[in-house]
Structure 1
Amino acid sequence: MNSAQNATDFPEPTIISLNGIELEVFEAGRQNAGNPIVLCHGWPDLAYTWRHQVPALVNAGYHVIAPNQRGYGNSTHPSDVTAYDVAHLSGDLVALLDHYGYKEATFVGHDWGAMVVWSLTLLHPTRVNRIICLSLPYPVRGEVPWLEFMETVLGSDYYFVHFNREPGVADAVFDANPARFLNNLYRKNEPLSTPQLGMTMIEIAHTTTPPGEPLLSDHDRAVYASTFEASGFTGGINWYRNFDRDWHLLADVDPVIHHPALMIYGDRDAVQQAENLTAFVPNVEEVRLDSGHWIQQERPEDTNRVILEWLNRDKTAATSDE
């Protein structure tokens, strides 16, 4: 990718052609072939977000596969906005399994990556054996499309809605100074807040006094900044621009996920926790950590412990059921 990222212990990338695009994939633990776990980042993030989890998972016996998903890094950035819906994003993950010769895998997702993992499990249930989601709980599909509902409740300036109604505006703001935007966004020890009205992301991009403390090291900030300076932010924002399309795409699937699932919340995350997750994910275990939104980066040791303990328990339970 870039010299900053390659200088770390994070795996070297490989470009893989699949599903009509190219994905930049970071792979580790090939010696553990047969025990795959796929790590799915959110926005505006990278496979690099899992740098603290990759060694722990490899040491625990997993073949770790972490793509920069479409629209990110050196993966393909399609020009068609509809190429970023959950059908395409989950299709990339299915094709990734096919590339490595796996029928199924464990999937881990954070933020928008969690949205993709939930959707993948609904659309391709036989390709998933268990799931771990961080921050974003199962997105219940109500009677009104998600974006329309958000606009009614939170207004047309709410950033989800703004990304859709004013295409290109936020992209240009973020692209103008990626280093400042990312430093302002990636914070820790922030005070707990609820979803804010207005275009909060643009405000974050412009502020000179971000709350909390910087989350990223100088090196990590360089990795993120250099990557988004090269790629821009539009590819990732286009995921948001399919929110209502995703609602329609999921209309005819069984909404209940029966797979073993782990849901990890940050108690100081502005993303709301689910009130009754078991109604749609009956085999879920929910864990809360003293963390903001960037759980796996802010609390890496706790995150690794929770994930590995749950994987071991689920493995033991599966063995006892055989």
Structure 2
Amino acid sequence: MPQHREVSVNGITMHIAEQGEGPLVLLLHGFPESWYSWRHQFEPLAAAGYHVVAPDQRGYGGTDQPSDVDAYSIFHLVGDVVGLIEALGHKQAVVVGHDWGGPVAWHTAMLRPDLVRGVAGLSVAPGPRGPVPPLVAARERFGDGFYQIYFQEPGVADAELNSDIRGAFRKTLAATSGEGANPAAAPLAQAGGFLAAMPDPETLPGWVTEADIDAYTEQYQRNGFTGGLNWYRNIDRNWELTAPWQNARITAPALYLSGDRDLVRAFYPPEFMDQVLPKILPDLRGVVDLPGCGHWTQQERPDEVNKALLEFLGGL
């Protein structure tokens, strides 16, 4: 079982869950999640001889939630990872990220290659820095109803999601999983809000229980969803800040995993995996495709994810 404590990192107090001893493996969650999304990874990775640490990232769960939207840039998020590695007494780490944790992991490997022995991303792959701000491109491609556009106005999505935290988790986790009725519809926020297209499921998918929903709901009682939404409110700012790394490659050994029913896969052109990704990741050790898996990769398919991670770690 993972142990829990708080550490001072980059000017904030961060809650972490950890288990095991050995080389450091950091597990970075996405939205809307917490350390708990990695609950199936602690035991296998720790048993294999690794110090496994999953933080609540900035603004989430038991970690501080700065009030300033500007405090959630990609530099702040990478800074938290750098500070965490030092606070844990390690010189380097393998950094694994799911969803929003993916960009944090990829950018940590790109900006601080001296600290990253290996990097793995679940669902979200590293992409080239485009010629226009991402939200401009997203609006042109998906329209004003795109969820990332809807998330931009402070207080709007916050109020919707915070009004029924438990319901928000039940709907989001079910609708965008591999067992969801229409995962492709999830990226579009309807007139009624982000959750409008997501039915409240009578029964949850087999990979998540009502007790899991209870755990997430309890963790979100402190901070709600605003901290996580503030990550989205820095998307275009991150594009501006990372201009010096235009066309930069990520040279650490790398692994990418995703489900073929993951809504994020629709964001990438057909040639992305074969032609674009290997140029960004010259030491790409594997691309793992999980048939029938939706967005919640390590929760939906823990055995396959653990197997792939252990093989990747063993090869470093």
Match of 2:3 among 6, 12, 23: 12
**Partner of 1:199 in structure 2?**
189
**Partner of 2:171 in structure 1?**
184
Distance in 1 of aligned mates of 2:257 and 2:203:
22
The 5 Å alignment of 1:172-321 reads 172-187=159-174, 188=177, 189-191=179-181, 193-194=183-184, 198-199=188-189, 202-204=193-195, 207-210=198-201, 213-214=204-205, 215-253=207-245, 255-272=248-265, 273=268, 274-275=272-273, 276-284=276-284, 285-290=286-291, 291-312=293-314, 314-315=315-316
**Partner of 1:49 in structure 2?**
37
Distance in 2 of aligned mates of 1:197 and 1:302:
26
Answer whether contact 2:40 2:298 (CA < 8 A) is retained.
Answer: yes
Q: Normalising by the residue count of structure 1, what TM-score does the alignment of the two structures yield? A: 0.88
> Which sits farther off after the overlay, 231-240 or 281-290?
281-290
**Considering only aligned residues, what root-mean-square deviation do their CA atoms show, in Å?**
1.9
- Identical pairs, percent: 39
Answer whether contact 1:191 1:212 (CA < 8 A) is retained.
Answer: no
Q: Normalising by the residue count of structure 2, what TM-score does the alignment of the two structures yield? A: 0.90
Answer whether contact 2:32 2:225 (CA < 8 A) is retained.
Answer: yes
Distance in 2 of aligned mates of 1:156 and 1:43:
21
Partner amino acid, structure 1, of 2:289? R
**Partner of 1:3 in structure 2?**
none
Distance in 2 of aligned mates of 1:246 and 1:271:
19
Q: How many residues align?
A: 301
Secondary structure at 2:27's aligned position in 1?
strand
Kindly provide the CA deviation profile for residues 140-172 of structure 1, in whole angstroms up to 9, marking residues without a partner as x: 2111111111112212221101211x2211110
**Partner of 1:319 in structure 2?**
none
Kindly provide the CA deviation profile for residues 156-193 of structure 1, in whole angstroms up to 9, marking residues without a partner as x: 221101211x2211110100001011001112412564
Distance in 2 of aligned mates of 1:117 and 1:62:
18
CA drift of 1:205 comes to 5.8
CA drift of 1:259 comes to 1.0
Unmatched 5+ stretches in structure 2: none
Unmatched 5+ stretches in structure 1: 1-8, 316-322
Kindly provide the CA deviation profile for residues 220-257 of structure 1, in whole angstroms up to 9, marking residues without a partner as x: 11100111133210000000000011111211126211
> Which sits farther off after the overlay, 197-206 or 183-192?
197-206
Distance in 2 of aligned mates of 1:87 and 1:154:
27
Distance in 2 of aligned mates of 1:198 and 1:306:
31
